[in-house]
A = this chain, B = another copy of it.
Amino acid sequence: MADAATYTAPVDDYAFLYGEAFGADLVARATDGAMTAEDAIDVLTAAGEFASEVLAPLDEPGDRVGATLVDGQARLPEGFADAYQALVEAGWITAEAPESAGGDGLPTLIQNGLGEIWNGSNMAFALNWMLTAGAIHALDAVASPDLRETYLAPMVEGRWTGTMNLTEPQAGTDLGAIRTMATPNDDGTWSISGQKIFITWGDHDVADNIVHLVLARTPGAPEGAKGISLFVVPKFLVNEDGSLGERNGVQTVSLEHKIGIHGSPTCVLAYEGATGYLAGELGGGLAGMFVMMNSARAGMGLQATGVSDRAYQRAIAYAQTRLQGPVMDRPAGTTIAEHPDVRRLLLSMSSEIFAMRAMGVLLGDLFDRAESDGTLAMAEFFVPIFKGWTTEESLRITSDAIQVHGGMGFIEETGVAQHYRDARIMPIYEGTTAIQSNDLIGRKLIRNGGETASALFAQIEATVAELTAADSPVAARTADRLERAVGAARRATDAMLGFASSPRDAYSVSVPYLMLLGTLAGGWMHALAVVAVLGHDAPAPADAQRLTEADFYGAHHLPRVHGLAETVVAGEIG
């Protein structure tokens, strides 16, 4: 049994997902034949080793010691800077950056496996390059050749990191209320002044420079979102030759004292006449930021999957070693893992985590095939579901992991509590669950009259038909449950579309609707797994567990859709 603090990357699950559950040619299809499922697994195996050896051991010190502000400079705990350098030297930053930006451009479905592993081993640490990746995508889309050469290239090489500066005290969800000002200088640069809050990895000591992407208003710009532009503001100014010059006018005022992710410095940044460079069109700031919205929000789903799995790994490691009382119908010396309710908790966690993980691969595939197969609408339909559903469920999963530990789970030194605290930010940042659900029902559902939703339901029903054709009790149960769940989703969708003339009805139940679709899609993921397992000529070692998890999900999680459908149909109350 592994030590509770260790992390093991779920490579076996990914082998099943890349090689079987979505068809044997999944990776080849996404890469035009350049890579096979085996190649993808090799990538994840290497990442898993790096994560276990380098990142996971820093997770607990990151939480306990946390980031600190010393003389205006954010400092990370010992080992963070070395780990970051090791990450860069191993080529992981460049591997995930798009080819257009000079990176290796790994396909999204493989990046999504990597995203789970980085976050599962050390969420606070992973946030640094998750934000950097976002900055790379944004600059890749809108930056001029000069900005690309000076700022994008060092980020792709991993020498510098990037941040997103959106939030201000009065402007959180409502970015149109931003007050930070950019005024033009004579030399074509801009002078940036204002205060930004909640800036993840807004300052640190693990790389030489930080490229802040800052949303700001310009003189005479229109009110609201259309008046906001995007600026590149480096922590250190950059000389003509690319070397670092003097410190720019941005100060780290304070670090937030948070419930979790203590190893991720969350900064209040004060810009006072800082030199900035316009990226993209004047007034196109929000559009520039939205370029990376899909990948950032999908990244949150991978984070939720990784953190949930880390908490699960601790719970099962504890349960499989802890003895407490006789276990019903089991021999003496059986650990608590076989107590009926502990087993329930463990299966509840593992069956949801599998569904999340599979959905991450599905989503990656949909993006990878967006151009060739026209799957962009479906991919974009899934983004808010994946972000919203996985992050909400991660709260329960990390909570259940504490519950498995009993009283020990409430003690910080046990370690599992960190994941519960870390997870609490996930349904909030990168757009709260409400924002995700509004995106889902507004842009993705009502705007096209439910077309994408219908296509999804039809796909799920095709899987139901496959299950029904199989001669297997588990398949029959799974088919019955999934078919009824699709029925609930169709009723809820019809109600949602019927609310077109009373939008408060729709937006009052948009989160329950999102949770319904997420729960349904999770059932679909298990149904695909059942089909794949039943197709085995010779049984594989994990087959029994996969069928049990599918059956468990169908009996414990999927039935929640029926209550959710009733909630959605009711609309606004009072």
A residues with a Cβ closer than 8 A to B are 167, 170, 172-174, 176-177, 197-198, 256-260, 323-325, 328-329, 339-344, 347, 395, 399, 402-403, 406-407, 409-413, 417, 420-421, 424-425, 427-429, 432-434, 437-438, 503-504, 507-512, 544, 547-548, 551-552, 555-556, 559-564, 566-567, 570, 572-574
Contacts and interface: CB of A to CB of B under 8 A. Distances in A.
Given A344-B508, A421-B421, 16 more contacts: A173-B324, A174-B324, A174-B325, A198-B407, A259-B410, A260-B410, A341-B433, A341-B437, A341-B507, A342-B434, A395-B399, A407-B429, A512-B556, A555-B570, A560-B560, A561-B563
B328 A507 contact: yes
B559 A406 contact: no
Nearest to A258: B410
B407 A325 contact: no
Contacts of A256: 410-411
Contact of A559 (B425, B507, B551, B567): B567
Nearest to A417: B259
A311 B542 CA distance: 43
Contacts of A548: 573-574
A492 to B, nearest CB: 12
A447 B4 CA distance: 39
- Classify the secondary structure of A's interface with B: helix
A564 B340 CA distance: 17
A259 B428 contact: no
11 contacts: A173-B324, A177-B324, A259-B410, A259-B421, A328-B504, A328-B507, A341-B511, A344-B511, A403-B432, A407-B428, A410-B424
A572 B340 contact: yes
A556 B552 contact: no
Contact of A551 (B433, B563, B574): B574
Contacts of A329: 503-504
B413 A257 contact: yes
Nearest to A568: B555
A559 B565 CA distance: 9
A567 B551 contact: no
B560 A563 contact: yes
Closest A-B pairs by Cβ, 3 of them: A548-B574, A174-B325, A559-B563
Contact of A563 (B433, B563, B570): B563
Contact of A407 (B167, B174, B340, B421): B167
Given A324-B173, A563-B560, A427 B403 contact: yes
A226 B244 CA distance: 75
A496 B425 CA distance: 38
A474 B136 CA distance: 54
Chain B CB within 10 Å, residue with most, of A172, A410, A551: A410
A217 B548 CA distance: 42
B559 A559 contact: no
Contacts of A510: 340-341
Contacts of A341: 433-434, 437-438, 507-508, 510-511
A325 B438 CA distance: 14
A327 B512 CA distance: 20
A173 B342 CA distance: 13
Contact of A339 (B328, B434, B544, B561): B434
A439 to B, nearest CB: 12
Nearest to A408: B172
Contacts of A347: 573-574
B437 A425 contact: no
A340 B574 CA distance: 12
A81 B180 CA distance: 48
Contacts of A552: 573-574
A255 B324 CA distance: 24
A108 to B, nearest CB: 28
A173 B570 CA distance: 42
Contacts of A417: 259, 424
Contact of A420 (B257, B259, B573): B259
A441 to B, nearest CB: 11
A333 to B, nearest CB: 14
Nearest to A324: B174
Contacts of A407: 167, 172, 197-198, 425, 428-429
A259 B177 CA distance: 36
Contacts of A343: 508
Contacts of A340: 504, 507-508, 510, 572
A172 B405 CA distance: 11
Given A402-B424, A566-B559, A570-B555, A328 B410 contact: no
Contacts of A344: 508-509, 511
Contacts of A512: 556
A37 B573 CA distance: 32
A398 B265 CA distance: 25
Nearest to A569: B555
A556 B552 CA distance: 24
A258 B342 contact: no
Residue of A343, A417, A563 with most partner-chain B CB within 10 A? A563
Contacts of A177: 324-325
Given A410-B424, A511-B344, A551-B573, A403 B433 contact: yes
Contacts of A324: 170, 172-174, 177
